[in-house]
Amino acid sequence: MEKKFKSYRDLEIFRLSKELAVDVHKMTLEELPKFEMFEEGSQIRKSSKSVVCNIVEGFGRRRYKNEFIQFLTYAVASYDETKAHLEMLRETGSLKKDLFNVLLQRYEELGAKLFNFREAVIKGHRPS
């Protein structure tokens, strides 16, 4: 990590994950069938918000490399979980194909950035 970040808000992965979590939250309330709002809808809302929260908590522990990496790893796991929920919603017919494709593509972009950020922390950790 060559850049110095003063706040988690300076992290692109935070901004992207938060934007996606908000969009997923809205999607579950506006696009899913009512019966999915409390089942799969609830699960995907939690996992998408967990990506954001783990980035924030990890950043708060950035002085401790192992903890920072651990929370970024949790963020990656929550990202994977969110993608699995998207796939389940699509495969069960609860989520329209075009919306699924847009969200999946955006999550894939976030996943690549999140993975690269985590690798950068592992290789060149310098607490700010």
The domain spanning residue 120 has which CATH number?
Answer: 1.20.1440.60
In a domain, 4, yes or no: no
Cα–Cα distances (Å) from 8 to 17, 29, 92, 120, 122, in that order, read: 12, 28, 36, 16, 17
In a domain, 14, yes or no: yes
- Asked whether the beta carbons of 69 and 122 are under 8 A apart, the reply is yes
In a domain, 3, yes or no: no
User: Confidence class of residue 2 from pLDDT cuts 50, 70 and 90?
Assistant: very low
Q: Is the pLDDT of residue 127 over 80?
A: no
User: Confidence class of residue 125 from pLDDT cuts 50, 70 and 90?
Assistant: low
What's the pLDDT tens digit per position in 32-85? Answer: 999 998 899 999 999 999 999 999 999 999 999 999 999 999 999 999 999 999
Q: What span, in angstroms and rounded, lies between the C-alpha atoms of 108 and 27?
A: 18
Mean pLDDT of 110-125: 93
In a domain, 54, yes or no: yes
Mean pLDDT of 72-99: 97
Domain containing 98 equals: 9-124
pTM of the model: 0.92
Residue 57 one-letter amino acid: E
Q: What is the pLDDT of residue 4?
A: 72
Q: How many domains does the chain fold into?
A: 1
